[in-house]
Chain A
Amino acid sequence: MRRKSFHRAVGVVALATLVFGAACSSSNPKGTSASDIKQLPENELTGTYLGLEARREDVGGSLANQEANAYIDAVGLYSLRNKERLEATLQISKLSKHARPKEQKFQQLVANQIGGTKAQAFVMGGKHVYRSSQRKQSLTSWFQGDYFMILSVRDTYKSPRTLLRVLLEEVKPSS
C-alpha cells in the first residue's frame, strides 16, 4: 500500500530532466547511460526535516527501465514522511563532469525541463531556486556544488516554503 501511494504521488526519478539535448548544442557529448547511473547511499539524506522523516526509496528498478544519455552519475530519491503519510520527496543527483552547474543559462535550461510549467527563478536565503508545478504538487529545483536537487511537495502540505528553506540550509551532499 505504501509503495503504491508513493509512486502515485511522485512518479519515478526525473532522469528525463537531466538528459543531453535539452540544454546544449547539436554537438552533445556522450553522457551517462541509465544502466551506469548509480544509486546514492541511504545515508546521503537521513534524519528529520521540519518533522518529516527522510528515507531513501529504492529506485534501482526504475533506473534500469529508463533510457538516458544523462548529465548525472548517481541519483537518490528520498521520501519525506509524516508518520506513513508521504508529504514530499527530494531527488538528489550527482552531476557528471559534462554538466555546467555554475552557468546561469545551463541552470535555467535544465530547470525549465521540470514540471508542467515554465520554471520561474527566485532567490531564497541567497540561493537561486526554480519553481514550477505539476498536477497536485509543486516542484522546486536548485543546484548545489556538483549536485542538483528536485523537491516535490504535495499541494496540500501546509509548510512548503519553510521545508524548502530548511533543506536549502541543512542538506549538503558529500562530494
Chain B
Amino acid sequence: MKRVISLIVLVGVLATGPACAKKNQDKLSLQRMLQTSAHNSGVFRYSDQTAKSPFNPGSLVQVRGLVEDDFRYKARLTVDGLDALDEVVNDDALAVRFLDPSFVPKFTSRSGGDAATRAFLAARYWVLDESGAPSIGDAAVADKVIGVDPIVDSLSVVDYTLDAISAALTVQKFSPENIDYRPLEDPFPQPQQGSGVTRWDLVPPPLPRADTQNTGQANSAALARAQNFRKMAIYVKDHKVIQIREQIGAKFDLLNKFYDYILRLTEKVDKKLLPTVKKQLEQAKAVSPELEEAVLNLALNQVLAAGGEDPVRFRTMKYEFTGQGTKVHADLPAGPDVKEGSLEFFGVNSKVNADKQNTNSGSGVSTETTVAANEPTTTVP
C-alpha cells in the first residue's frame, strides 16, 4: 500500500514540473509576439464599452488611427457615435482639432490655456504645439494619466495586455475541443477554419477567499481585482498579434461565486451590514443578472476605494491592428486651418502639468480634473 502511495506522489511531482514550465513558456512566447507587434507600423482600431446601469451612464469610446513608429501617430476619437477630436503626434509636436466643440471641456483642464487657443479649438481649427507631444516611456507618468486621453490609452493597449498576461493564471491555445470549453459562455469569436489565425485565451485566477488572512495591507489578500473577472483573447497570425479582445465582468457561474464572495466579504467587514446587503442583492437578482452584476461591482469597488485601490471597471474592449509593417505617415496638418498655440491644458499634458505644480507647491495631490467628475473614465482600467 505504501509503495502505491509513493508511486502516486512521485508521478504527481513529475507531472507538475513540465506542465508549469509549459504554462510559463506559453506566457513568455505570447508576450514576445506582443512586444514585436507593438513596434510595427500599421493601422489600429480600439473600442472600450461600459454597460449602462443605474450607477453608470455607460459609454462607447472608439479610436481609429495609424502608427508610423513609436513617436508618430494620428488618430480620431469617437464618443458614443459622435466624432469628438483628431490628434496627431509627430516627434515633439502635438496637433489637435475638435470636430465637436462640445467635447472641449471634457478633454481640457478648466484652468490654463490662453483664450485665443481655446477659441481656436472651439472654432474647430487645428491647434499645433511644436513641443506639446505627450510623455512616452515614463512609467511613473503613465500610471497617473490613464483615462485622461483615450487616444493615449489606445496606444498603450499592448503594455496593458502584457500586464494582463502576467496577472493571468495561465494562457491556453483556444480549441472548441477543450474539455472545459463552454461555447455559450464564450464572448469572443472563434478563428475561422483555414484563416491561419490562432487564438490564445487568458485563464483568470479564481476569486480569492473573502476570509483570507491579512498579509500586510488591510484586507488586501482577500480582495478581488480586475484579473479575477478578466476574459481576454489574443488573436495571432504569422507570429503577429492582430487582435485583442477583453471582457471584464461576472457572468454565468462567476456571477454566483461573486454573489457569495460579496456576502462573505460583508460578513468580514461588518457583520451587522449582512442582512441589508443580502436584501439588496436579492432585489437586484430578481430584476436581471445585469443589475445584480452592477450592484456587486459597486459593492466591491466601495471596499477597494476604502483601501485606496483602483476600482474594477466592468467593460468590453477590442483592439485590432492591421497592415502591420506597411509604411504609413503621421504628418502634421498644414494650411490656413492650423493655428499655433500651447496645448499644455489638453489631455495628458494637463494632468502632468498639474502634478508638477502640486509637487512644486508641496501638496503632492492633483486638484485638476480633465474629465467631468460625474462622468465615467473612458479607458483601460
Binding site for B on A (CB under 8 A): 117, 120-126, 128, 131, 133, 158-162, 165
Q: Is B133 among interface residues, defined by CB-CB distance under 8 A?
A: yes
Instruction: Tell whether A159 pairs with B92 under 8 Å between CB atoms, given A122-B70, A123-B69, A131-B137.
Output: yes
* CB of B303, distance to nearest CB on chain A (Å): 33
A123 touches B130 (CB 8 A): no
Q: Which of the four size classes fits the interface of chain B? A: 10 to 19
- A123→B92 contact, CB < 8 A: no
Whether the pair B39, A121 counts as a contact (CB closer than 8 A) is: yes
Asked if B131 and A159 sit within 8 Å, CB to CB, the answer is yes
Residue B136 lies at the interface, judged by CB distance under 8 Å to chain A? yes
User: What's the least CB distance linking A51 to chain B, in Å?
Assistant: 13
Contact B71 A122 (CB under 8 A): yes
**A161 contacts B39, C-beta separation under 8 Å:** no
Question: Are A161's CB and B137's CB within 8 A?
Answer: no
Do A165 and B91 contact each other (CB < 8 Å), given the known contacts A122-B70, A123-B69, A124-B71? yes
Given contacts A159-B131, A161-B71, contact A122 B91 (CB under 8 A): no
Instruction: Give the Cβ gap from A161 to chain B, nearest Cβ, in Å.
Output: 4
| Chain B 184-222 interface 0/1 with A at a Cβ cutoff of 8 Å (1 = within) | 000000000000000000000000000000000000000
A159 to B129, CA, bound (A): 11
Q: Closest CB-CB distance, A61 to chain B, in whole Å?
A: 34
Nearest to A158 among chain B residues (CB) is B131
B138 within 8 A of A: yes
Give the docked Cα–Cα distance between A162 and B70 (Å).
Answer: 13
Chain B nearest Cβ from A147, distance in angstroms: 21
In the docked arrangement, what's the CA distance between A121 and B69, Å?
A: 12
Residue among A124, A125, A158 with the most chain B CB within 10 A?
A124
Q: How distant is A157 from chain B, measured CB to nearest CB, in Å?
A: 9
A117–B142 Cα gap in the complex (Å)?
Answer: 14
Q: Which of B31-55 contact A (CB under 8 A)?
A: 35, 39
Q: Does A158 lie within 8 Å of B138, measured CB to CB?
A: no
Q: How far is the CB of B352 from chain A (nearest CB, A)?
A: 12
Q: State the 10 A-B residue pairs at the shortest beta-carbon distance, nearest first.
A: A161-B91, A123-B39, A122-B70, A158-B131, A120-B137, A162-B91, A131-B137, A159-B92, A161-B92, A123-B69
Contact in complex: A125, B92 (CB < 8 Å): no
Q: Which residues of A contact B35 (CB under 8 A)?
A: 121
Min C-beta distance of A146 to chain B, whole Å = 24
For chain B residues 66-110, which have a beta carbon within 8 Å of chain A? 69-71, 91-92
Closest to B39 in A: A123
Whose C-beta in chain B lies nearest to the C-beta of A117? B139
**Please, how many angstroms separate the alpha-carbon atoms of A133 and B141 in the complex?**
12
Q: How far in angstroms is the closest Cβ of chain B from A150? A: 16
Closest Cβ of chain A to B152, distance in Å, is: 15
Give B68's nearest chain A residue, CB to CB: A125
CA distance A159 to B90 in the complex (A): 11
What's the least CB distance linking A137 to chain B, in Å?
13
Contact across chains for B92 and A124 when beta carbons are under 8 A apart: no
Residues of B within 8 A of A125 (CB): 69
CA distance A165 to B68 in the complex (A): 13
The answer, among A117, A122, A162, for a CB contact under 8 Å with B39, is: A122
CA–CA, A122 and B159, complex, Å = 12
A143 to chain B, nearest CB (A): 15
Given known pairs A121-B39, A122-B39, A123-B39, the reply for A161 and B133 (CB within 8 Å) is yes
Q: What residues of chain B lie closer than 8 Å to A158, measured between beta carbons? A: 92, 130-131
B28 to nearest A CB, angstroms?
Answer: 13
CB < 8 Å neighbour of B69 from A120, A126, A131, A160: A126
